[in-house]
Amino acid sequence: MSGRPFRHKALLPRFRDAGRGLVRAYREEPNLRFHVFAGTCAAVAAYAVGVSGWEVAYLGGTIALVLSAELVNTAVERATDLAAGGRRHPLAGAAKEVAAGAVLLTALHALFAATLLFALRRDLAESVQAVFRLLIHRPLWLLPPAIAGVLGLFGGSRHES
C-alpha cells in the first residue's frame, strides 16, 4: 500500500482508483480477459447483423453484467484469500464457489442472449454469413479488436495467491 487512506474525498482520486482496479483485474485475471474478448466478439457480431434499438441495450447490458460479475468474483477471491491468511477454510471455499456461481449464471444468460439475438430473431446461418462478410469486406476495421482480443487471451500476468 502507498500509505494513503482507502477513502478519498475528492472525485478524481476515486475514479483513478477505480480505473486502476479495472486495469489490475484485466492484467491479472485470465477469465476477465476471456469475457472481454467474448463481449468484443458479440459486439462485432451485433454490428455485422445490424442489431439496433432494444437489442443493442440488451446486449450491452448483458456484456456489462458478465464483466461486473467477474470483477466482483475477483474481489471476493482476493478478500477471501486475505481473510483466510493462506489457510483453507470451508467458509472461504464456499464464498469463492458462490461468487464463481454468479459468474456462471451471468455467462449462461449471455449464452441465452446470443441465442436470442443471433439465432432466434435472425437465421443463424444468415448471422454467420453477415459476420464473414464483415471480416472479408472490412478486415482493417476489425484489426484493433482482434489484436486486443488475442493479446487479452494470451497476455497478462499471474497474481500470487
How many beta carbons lie within 10 A of that of residue 62, not counting itself? Answer: 22
Query: Annotation-wise, does 97 bind a ligand?
Result: no
Asked if 97 is an active-site residue, the reply is no
Q: Which whole-number Å values give the CA distances from 12 to 19, 84, 132, in the listed order?
A: 11, 33, 43
Catalytic residue among 28, 55, 70, 160: 70
Query: Annotation-wise, does 55 bind a ligand?
Result: no
Say what the pLDDT of residue 161 is: 42
Please report the sign of the dihedral spanned by the C-alpha atoms of residue 51, residue 54, residue 60, residue 61. negative
Residue among 160, 4, 3, 21 nearest 82 (CA): 160
Residue 151 pLDDT greater than 80, yes or no: no
Query: Annotation-wise, does 77 bind a ligand?
Result: yes
Residue 4 pLDDT greater than 70, yes or no: no
pTM over 0.85: no
Say what the pLDDT of residue 136 is: 82
Of 18-22, 43-47, 49-53, 148-152, which gets the smallest average pLDDT? 148-152
- Mean pLDDT over 87-92 rounds to 89
Q: Give 40-79 pLDDT, tens digit per residue.
A: 889 988 998 999 899 999 999 999 999 999 999 999 999 9
Q: Give 103-144 pLDDT, tens digit per residue.
A: 999 999 999 999 999 998 888 888 888 888 888 887 776 766
Domains and CATH numbers, the chain: 31-154 (1.10.287)
Of 88-102, 110-124, 140-154, which gets the smallest average pLDDT? 140-154
Residue 146 pLDDT greater than 80, yes or no: no
- Mean pLDDT over 80-104 rounds to 92
Cβ contacts of 157 within 8 Å, gap of 6 or more: 27, 28
